[in-house]
Structure 1
Amino acid sequence: MDISVIVPLKNEEESLPELMTWIDRVMQENQFSYEVWMVDDGSTDDSWEVIQRLATAYKQVKGIRFRRNYGKSAALNEGFRAAQGNVVITMDADLQDSPDEVPELYRMIVEDGFDLVSGWKKKRYDNAITKNLPSKLYNWTTTRMSGVHLHDMNCGLKSYRKKVVKSIEVYGEMHRYIPVIAKWAGFRKIGEKPVEHRARKYGVTKFGLERFINGFLDLASIMFIGKFGKRPMHLFGALGTLFFGLGFIIAFYLAYAKIVFDKYNMTDRPIFYLALLFMVIGSQLFLTGFIGELVARNAPERNTYLIEEKIDGQQLYAKSVSGNQSAT
C-alpha cells in the first residue's frame, strides 16, 4: 500500500464528508493505493456516525473511536500503530489542510529520501494573538533547544516514512514536537514544504490556552528523555555534585575564617545558610539521579535500541565464496 492518511478529529461531523471526497479525488488522480484512518478523539457530536457512513461508501476508510477525549497525541499514536502504508500522511479534519499537498509530500519521502517532511503554513488564517504569535515563539524556542530547523513544527500536515511512525511514541501534548522525537530516535533527514493553509469552514478550534503551558513542559520532557532518559545520573549527579561542591567550599571558607581569625560565629553570617542550602539541594539532586538510574536500569526497555541494519560476516563470506566458485 502506498499511503496511509491519519486524520485525528473531535466534533468535526460537518467537514468529514467533504474531506474524504477531496482525499479520494487526489488519490484517484495520482493512482495511489491508500487507506484513511479517522481517529475519533471522544467526539460528542455525530462524528462517529459520519465515519461509519463513510466506511460504507469508501472501502479505504477505517475508524478508531476513543471512549473519551485523550488528546491529539493519543489519536496520532493509535493511528501510527494501525497504519500500513509505506508513507504515512497526517492532516487535520477541519479542512484547513489541503489534500492537494499529498502527492508532493509523498514524492519527497519516496524520491528525495526524507524520513519526515513537515508542512510550513507561510500564510495563516488563525488568530494572530492566540495562535500565530505563540506558535512563532514555540518554533523559535524548539529550534534553539533541539537543533531541528523548521518554521512550523506544529503543522498538522506531515508525511513520514513508515519506519519512523513505527519507531516513535507520542503522548501527552508531544504531537507538537514529533520532528524532535524523530530526531532523537535517529531519523535525521527531516525536510519542510510550504503548504496551503485554509480558513476554517466549519466549527471552532478545539485547543485552549492550556496548550501554552503543556507545550513548554512537554518540550522539556522530550529534551530530557532524549539526552538523559537512559542515563539520568549524568544530569542529576552532575548538578548535585556542583551544588554540593559550592556549598562545601563556602562552609570550608567560613570554618577556616573562624579558626584563623576568630572574629565571628559561623552562624552569624547569612552566607552560612546559603552553604547549607546548596549542600542540601546537591544531596537531593544526587539522590534523585541515583534513584533515576536504578529505575532506568530495571526498566524492561532499558536495552531497547533502534537498529538500522545488521551485517553478518559469516553470511557475507559464504556468499563471496559461493560467488567465486560459481565464476570458476
Structure 2
Amino acid sequence: MNISVVIPLLNEQDSLIELHEWIAKVMYTKKYSYEVIFIDDGSTDNSWKTITQLSEKDKNVKGIRFLRNFGKSQALHAGFEKAEGDVVITMDADLQDNPDEIPELYNMIKNDGFDLVSGWKKKRYDSVITKNLPSKVFNWAARKTSGVKLHDFNCGLKAYHTDVVKNIDVNGEMHRYIPLLSKNAGFSNIGEKVVKHQARKYGETKFGMNRFVHGFLDLITIWFLSRFGKRPMHLFGALGVIMFTIGLGFSVYLGIDKLFLNPEGRLITQRPQFYIALSTMIIGSQFFVAGFLGEIILRNRPDKKRYLVKDKLNLT
C-alpha cells in the first residue's frame, strides 16, 4: 500500500464527507493505493455515524473510536499502530489542511529519502493575537531548545516513512514534538514544506490559549526526557554531587576553624554555615535518592494502555 492517511478528530461531523471526497479524488488522480484511518477521539456529535457511513461506501475508509476523549497524541498513536502504508500522512479533520499537498509530501518521503516532512503554514488565516503571535514564540522556543530547525511544529499536516511511526511513542500531549521524538529515535533526515492553510469552514477550534502553556511545559519535559530519560541518575546524581560537595566543604571549614583556628569561638551549631552545610548535604542525598528511584522506575516500567477503543471499522 502506498499511503495511509491518519486523521484524528473531535466533533467534526460537518467536514468529514467533504474531506473524504477530496482525499479520494487526489488518490484516484495519482492512482495511489491508500487507506484513510479516522480516529474519533470521543466525539459527542455524529462524527462516528458519518465515519461508519463512509466506511460502508468505501472500503479504504477505516475507523477507530475511543470510549472518551483521550487526546490527539493518543489518537495519533492508535492510527500509527494500524497504518499499513509505506508513507503515512497526518492531517487535521477541519479542512484547514489541504489534501492536494499529499502527492508532493509522498514524493519527498518516497523519492527524496526524507524520514519525516513537516508542513509549514507560512500564510495563516488564524487570529494574529490569539494564534499567530503565540505560535511564533512557541516555535522559536522549540527550535532553540530541540535543535530541530522547523518553522511550524504545530502543523498537523506531516508525512512520515512507515519506519518512523512504528518506532516512536507518541503519548501525553507530545504530538507537537513528533519531529523531535523522531530525531531522538535516530530518524534525523527531517524536511519541511510550505503548505496551504485554509480558513476553518465548519465548527470551532478545539484548542485555546492554554495549549501554548501546555506546549512550553511539554517542551521542557521532552528536553529532559531526551537528555536524561534513559539515565536519570546522570542529572540527579550530578546535582547530588554538587550539593553534597558544597555541604561537605562547609563542614570541613567549620571543623578546621573550630579545632585549629578559633577553638574559643562560638559553637558550630550557632554559626549559619552549619545550617548551610546540613541543608545542602541533605538536599544532595535527596537528589541521589531521586536518581536511584528514577532508575528503578525506568527498569520496571509496565506497558500500560493509554486509551480504550470502543469500536473499529475495517480494522483487525
Question: Do the structures match in fold with TM over 0.5?
Answer: yes
Tell me which amino acid in the other structure corresponds to 1:258. Answer: K
* Bigger mean CA offset, 270-279 vs 171-180: 270-279
> What is the root-mean-square deviation of aligned Cα atoms in Å?
1.6
C-alpha deviation, 1:138, in angstroms: 2.1
Aligned to 1:151: 151
Q: Does 1:6 align with 2:35?
A: no
SS of structure 2 residue aligned to 1:144: helix
Deviations 1:134-182 (A, max 9, x none): 2222222221222111011111000000000000111110000000000
C-alpha deviation, 1:300, in angstroms: 7.1
Aligned to 1:46: 46
TM-score by structure 1 length? 0.87
Aligned to 1:128: 128
Aligned to 1:313: none
Deviations 1:76-109 (A, max 9, x none): 0000001000000000000110001101100000
C-alpha deviation, 1:298, in angstroms: 4.1
C-alpha deviation, 1:295, in angstroms: 2.9
1:1-328 to structure 2, matched below 5 A, reads 1-259=1-259, 260-261=261-262, 262-299=264-301
Aligned to 2:311: none
SS of structure 2 residue aligned to 1:171: coil
Tell me which amino acid in the other structure corresponds to 1:114. Answer: F
SS of structure 1 residue aligned to 2:13: coil
Higher RCO structure (Cα 8 Å, ≥6 apart): 2
| Long gaps (5+) in structure 2 | 304-316
Instruction: Sort the Cα spacing of 1:123 and 1:82 in 2 relative to 1 into closer, same or farther, 3 A.
Output: same
Contact kept in structure 1, 2:135 and 2:212, CA below 8 Å: no
TM-score by structure 2 length? 0.90
Contact kept in structure 1, 2:4 and 2:37, CA below 8 Å: yes
Instruction: Sort the Cα spacing of 1:269 and 1:209 in 2 relative to 1 into closer, same or farther, 3 A.
Output: farther
Tell me which amino acid in the other structure corresponds to 2:283. Answer: I
C-alpha deviation, 1:57, in angstroms: 2.1
SS of structure 2 residue aligned to 1:15: helix
Q: What is the alpha-carbon distance in structure 1 between the residues aligned to residue 88 and residue 21 of structure 2?
A: 19
C-alpha deviation, 1:55, in angstroms: 1.1
Equivalenced residue count is: 301
Deviations 1:166-219 (A, max 9, x none): 001111100000000001101000000011111111111111333233223322
Q: What is the alpha-carbon distance in structure 1 between the residues aligned to residue 269 and residue 276 of structure 2?
A: 11
| Long gaps (5+) in structure 1 | 302-328
Equivalent pairs: percent with the same residue?
61
